[in-house]
Structure 1
């Protein structure tokens, strides 16, 4: 149902590098790169993450309450990708852990532009 989610960034090179390296273990890469916007994913037919310089050319602003959540397939991958995000320059916004007993495991971080991202696993 979701084709792609777009987040605003201030530095396209940094954002493409950050997300390409972070999501490579999930098989994602930059699929389409057009100056002010780049789409990162496994294929154009699957949900993607787009990073962009805002169309109005005003500074990007992470939305309060907005978040992109990515399911990497296991608790182990949640942990691994969360720690990789931190190594790549993200800041912690909630360390990995069980949030709802036996139901929801998650980890939260802010990318270098302040966008909130979660890795999660149900079950």
Structure 2
């Protein structure tokens, strides 16, 4: 979520100019192919076939459902309390800024306006 808003703003700005429209089209295609490759990779990693030497057994119970039994990790958690304490605030901030990015955008407005002042004459001369 946090990267979507920034990409959307860049692409809207790029599509609004005739000179940058081809670059924006190539960029959008790159984003789409990158997302497709990421989803394909995640599918292979998480939904692929189980390796026979894995640290768990997959059994079908009397109820007909599959049950996983771990050998090496019984009673162990992937994340301890210290790691969760550091991870949870980061996740909350990333999701919050992905949904509502205005606090950060407000801080950037002054810098963006200065950048537009500097680049506007160059952009106008390129259009003519």
Q: Decide: shared fold, TM above 0.5.
A: no
Q: If each structure's strand is expressed as a fraction of its own residues, which one has the higher value?
A: 1
Q: If each structure's helix is expressed as a fraction of its own residues, which one has the higher value?
A: 2
Larger RCO of the pair (alpha carbons < 8 Å, separation 6+): 2
Rg comparison, structure with higher value: 2
Q: What interval of TM-score do these two structures reach, taking the shorter chain for normalisation?
A: under 0.3
| Structure 2 length-normalised TM | 0.20
